[in-house]
């Protein structure tokens, strides 16, 4: 479940304790006392490089970064709406899907690796099909239902989904799920999201701006409120 199901997110506590930590570190001489405390992260990150699927035209002028977790109930709620909005705007909007497997969803990282295998060894269509399957059968990989399952058994469930989406042999999929490059793709996707200040799913960034008004409960009309003015502006400028 995403952060939005928590009605009482303890922001003041977070603020106070990190302030305390910062002053402790400062006192201990961890930060230079002159000006900027931290340099920007050194990862060579570009949005498209760390997306699992990209749709639409990179020259469209309106781009949406979707941060999702395939094991998140709120992302599952948002998925049909996102698909409808994609159809409505067709190629006028570029969509980049970034995976942000939340640590409290025990199997989220494995399920995210499945999407990378489907995209890398299948194609974008296969990856989107895999996501459809993952959302539809999300309950099978929930914390509750996998309590008594081994890591390998969960890998088997994910491998079956990838097989169904791509047509690849089950054993081939299992080997690919264990590849270092597949693991790394999800790690970098996660790091990319954290650098963009993402802390839950689904979260949406439109033209580099985080849009707090869009979440798992948004409908197509909510999306239109944000996208229509941008597209009108693009049309005027071109
Ligand atoms: C994508 O993969 C699917 C399933 O493997 C296949 O049926 C389809 O033809 C592929 N599409 C393209 C555009 O290559």
pLDDT value at position 24? 42
- Range of weakest confidence among 25-39, 86-100, 222-236: 25-39
pLDDT of residue 59: 87
Give domain limits for the chain.
Answer: 15-28+46-237
Distance between CA atoms of residues 223 and 218, nearest Å: 7
Kindly give the distance from the C-alpha atom of residue 122 to the centroid of ligand 1, in angstroms, as a whole number.
Answer: 7
**Ligand 1 atom closest to Cα of 125?**
1
Mean pLDDT, residues 160-166: 98
Q: Which of 236, 1, 204 is nearest to 85 (CA)?
A: 204
Write out pLDDT tens, residues 55-64.
998 888 899 9
Residue 190: how many other CB atoms lie within 10 Å: 21
Interatomic CA distance for residues 85 and 222, integer angstroms: 10
Closest C-alpha among 90, 52, 89 to residue 190: 52
pLDDT on residue 186: 97
Summarize pLDDT for 63-100 with one digit per residue, the tens.
999 999 999 999 999 999 999 999 999 889 999 999 99
pLDDT for the residue numbered 19: 43
CA distances for 101 relative to 37, 45, 59, 106, angstroms: 29, 18, 29, 9
In ligand 1, which atom is closest to the CA atom of 168?
5
How does 43-59 read in b/e, with b if 16+ C-beta sit within 10 Å?
A: eeeebeebbbbbbbeee
pLDDT band at 237 (very low <50, low <70, confident <90, very high): confident
Query: What are the contacts of 146-149 at 24+ separation with CB within 8 A?
Result: 146/106, 146/107
The matching CATH number, chosen from 3.40.30.10, 2.40.110.10, 3.40.47.10, 3.30.70.2740, for 15-28+46-237 is: 3.40.30.10
pLDDT of residue 27: 44
Taking the CA of residue 167 as reference, the ligand 1 atom at the shortest distance is 5
Rounded to the nearest whole angstrom, what is the distance from the C-alpha of residue 193 to the centroid of ligand 1?
A: 29
> pLDDT (tens digit, 9 = 90+) per residue, 180-225?
999 999 999 999 999 999 999 999 999 999 999 999 999 999 999 9
| 20 has a pLDDT exceeding 80 | no
Within 6 Å (CB) of ligand 1, which residues are found? Answer: 122-123, 125-126, 166-167
Which one of 120, 121, 122, 164 would you pick to mutate in the ligand 1 pocket, going by the greatest count of ligand atoms within 8 A of its CB?
Answer: 122
Pick from 125, 131, 166 the residue to mutate for probing ligand 1's pocket: most ligand atoms within 8 Å of its CB: 125
Neighbours of 106 (CB within 10 A): 19
Q: Band of the pLDDT at 18, cuts 50, 70, 90?
A: very low
Distance 16 CA to ligand 1 centre (A): 51
């Amino acid at each position: 479940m995403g952060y939005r199901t928590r009605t009482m997110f303890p922001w003041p506590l977070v603020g106070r304790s990190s302030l305390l930590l910062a002053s402790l570190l400062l006192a201990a001489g961890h930060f230079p006392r002159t000006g900027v405390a931290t340099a920007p992260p050194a990862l060579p990150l570009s949005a498209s490089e760390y997306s699992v699927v990209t749709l639409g035209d990179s020259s469209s002028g309106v781009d949406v970064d979707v941060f999702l977790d395939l094991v998140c109930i709120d992302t599952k709620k948002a998925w049909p709406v996102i698909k409808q909005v994609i159809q409505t705007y067709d190629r006028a909007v570029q969509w980049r899907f970034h995976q942000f497997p939340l640590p409290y969803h025990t199997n989220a990282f494995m399920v995210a690796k499945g999407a990378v295998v489907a995209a890398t060894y299948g194609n974008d269509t296969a990856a989107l099909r895999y996501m459809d399957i993952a959302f539809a059968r999300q309950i099978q990989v929930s914390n509750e239902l996998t309590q008594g399952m081994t890591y390998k058994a969960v890998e088997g469930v994910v491998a079956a989904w990838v097989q169904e989406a791509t047509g690849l042999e089950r054993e081939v999929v299992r080997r690919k799920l264990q590849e270092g490059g597949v693991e790394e793709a999800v790690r970098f996707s996660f790091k990319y999201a954290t650098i963009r200040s993402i802390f839950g799913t689904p979260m949406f960034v439109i033209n580099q701006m985080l849009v707090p008004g869009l979440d798992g409960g948004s409908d197509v009309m909510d999306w239109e409120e944000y996208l229509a003015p941008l597209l009108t502006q693009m049309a005027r400028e071109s």
